[in-house]
């Protein structure tokens, strides 16, 4: 016949795993499966992911506000002045 069958006949079969080895392998597989399920559940939880994103954005805005050279009160005063100017101009047109 072919050489492959001759080689297969000459190779030694792998020894059967012991019960302890099988149980250890099952335990490892269950742990990996549990981690995979948790990762998929976290990805599927859109509400929690959205909350996390909002919190991250809040932190970035707070950090930018602290680093900003322009104080927030000055920005608010500028906005109020702009609104006042718009109201005065609109009042004169009537």
* Residue 61 pLDDT class (50, 70, 90 cuts): confident
Q: Is 60 among the domain residues?
A: yes
Q: Is residue 5, in this structure, part of any structural domain at all?
A: no
* Total domains in the fold of the chain: 1
- pLDDT over 90 at 74, yes or no: no
In a domain, 71, yes or no: yes
Parent domain of 37: 16-93
pLDDT, tens digit (0-9, with 9 covering 90-100), for 19-58: 999 999 999 999 999 999 999 998 888 888 889 999 999 8
CA gap 54, 60 in Å, rounded: 10
In a domain, 50, yes or no: yes
48: which residues sit within 8 A by CB, 6+ positions away? Answer: 42
């Amino acid at each position: 016949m072919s050489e492959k069958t001759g080689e297969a006949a000459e190779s030694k079969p792998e020894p059967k795993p012991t019960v302890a080895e099988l149980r250890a392998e099952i335990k490892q597989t269950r742990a990996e499966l549990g981690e995979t399920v948790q990762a998929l559940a976290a990805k599927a939880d859109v509400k929690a992911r959205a909350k996390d994103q909002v919190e991250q954005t809040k932190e970035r805005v707070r950090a930018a506000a602290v680093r900003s050279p322009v104080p927030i009160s000055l920005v608010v005063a500028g906005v109020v002045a702009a609104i006042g100017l718009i109201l005065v101009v609109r009042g004169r047109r009537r």
